[in-house]
Chain A
Amino acid sequence: MTKKTLRRVLAVWSASFVVAFLVTFVVGSVARAYEFSPPFKWEWDETDIVVEDRGYEYQSEIIGATVDYGDDDTDIDTTYSTSGSNIIHLLGDYEGENIVAFADPMSHSTPCFDEDHYLTGDCDTSDNRVDFAYIYWNTGADPQGYPDFEYPWTSEVAQYISRHEMGHVFGFAHPPPTPGCSVQTVMLTPEMGCSTFYIQLTSHDNTNINNKY
């Protein structure tokens, strides 16, 4: 092989490497599901997951989120009820917490997260799947410069909160700083610095749900 040919081969190799790397990394980063580590999932995805509202103020938004998760675009079934529920939304004044809302999934009555919201490792994708969850909405959240997140929330914000927290219950985490806000998902948070929030499940969300369930 001549030097000229070698140079040409190297140039072609480098260009192909860079293109393949960038395309795979960017597409892979944006399209992938972000799960907790170790991951966990819901126990019975093929039967109705019953969602209940015990907060009483955002019922239509919680019904909307339940329909969104249970529609034909996803492989899980969710239904809204006033009793006998698996996922219960609660409204409360937790005072000076800057956390607007948070999910508390459990497996066999054992929480997946401790009080600091750190994973306990007690939930997984096999014997210890999630079978119950509370979702806490904090009316006392301090908006810290984000008036949109001050209670009472608009219907749009409530639609975002309900879908976001239910996503956690089904095992999905916030995207990491990279690729951050460019991921089109209901799992974005203001803490990431995002200014656009999705209030309906996106095709990214539906794909990830169907890959997981």
Chain B
Amino acid sequence: MMKQYGHRKVFVILGSVVGVISGLIVAAVMLAVCAGDQSTPTALGERLQNGPLSDNSTGIKLPPPKSIQDLVNRADAIVIGTVGGPIGEGENQPYSPELAKRDIPQPRSFPFIDYEILIDEVLLDDGLIESTPVLRVAARPDTGFNLYGTMRVPSVGGRYLFTLRANSDKRAYGVVYPWSLISVDGATVALLDRERSAPNFTDKIEVPDFVEAVKAAVLNWRKTDWPNGPLNFVTSE
């Protein structure tokens, strides 16, 4: 009898030891797999083909809108129109004349391209868009992608719904994420690119339905609270 109980105990102890060890091994393997999945250098050609899929950014970026209302609330002006030809290029540089005298790598400049917006219809008017229909995209002309790899540069002649924010100098409107520039050329709407964290409210929606939904959301423009705040900035755990 004693011997039988002793055997059982040994089996139970062995079972738990083997269970713990196998659990540890499987978890360690999964952690290693997750670690390897983080951020891998990707060739430019591959990114142009597939878009950016992983976040290896050093940038503090903001998330996609959660709904059409959120998309509309983020805009100063919304128009439907066509992208005209580039009307200018330029570079933004940090103001740091003292650094130029030093023998150190110099700060980057940040190129941009200005496109004319040929407006068909204004859905949300900020009083500025019709006199300043300029879309500024941070990009180099040769890459096909905006500077931060988050969206393709717009196609000249392409028809889009533009959700625009005025730049601080009020001389152009900026876009950086695919949801700022939604293609309405086809039967269904399309984002310029599918980012890792792209919104899904544009999926498979027909253009007339989408435009009507945007118009309805414009009627409630910023009547709702921002869905994202308030944020907490804390000093410790």
Contacts and interface: CB of A to CB of B under 8 A. Distances in A.
B18 A98 contact: no
A177 B228 CA distance: 18
A134 interface: yes
Interface stretch (A1-9, A41-49, A69-77): A1-9
Counting chain B CB atoms within 10 Å of each CB, the highest count among A32, A109, A176 belongs to A176
B99 interface: yes
B74 A144 contact: yes
B11 A190 contact: no
A184 to B, nearest CB: 5
A20 B23 contact: yes
Nearest to B137: A96
A27 to B, nearest CB: 9
B8 A117 contact: no
B176 to A, nearest CB: 5
A126 interface: no
Contact of A191 (B18, B35, B61): B61
Interface stretch (B103-111, B123-131, B207-215): B103-111
A58 interface: no
B92 to A, nearest CB: 5
What size tier do the contact residues of chain A reach? 35 or more
A35 B12 CA distance: 40
A68 to B, nearest CB: 10
Interface of A: 1, 5, 8-10, 12-22, 24-25, 28-29, 32, 34-38, 54, 88, 90-106, 109, 113-121, 132, 134, 136, 139-140, 142-149, 154, 156-157, 159-161, 164-165, 168, 173-174, 176, 178, 184, 189-193, 195-200, 202-204
Interface of B: 7-8, 11-12, 14-24, 26-28, 30-31, 34-42, 44, 47, 52, 55-63, 65, 70, 73-74, 92-96, 98-99, 104-105, 107-108, 110, 112, 136-138, 140, 145, 147-149, 165, 167-169, 172-177, 197, 226-237
6 smallest beta-carbon distances between A and B, as pairs: A96-B174, A16-B19, A20-B23, A116-B149, A92-B94, A24-B27
8 contacts: A21-B27, A37-B40, A99-B59, A102-B57, A145-B228, A147-B226, A173-B39, A189-B61
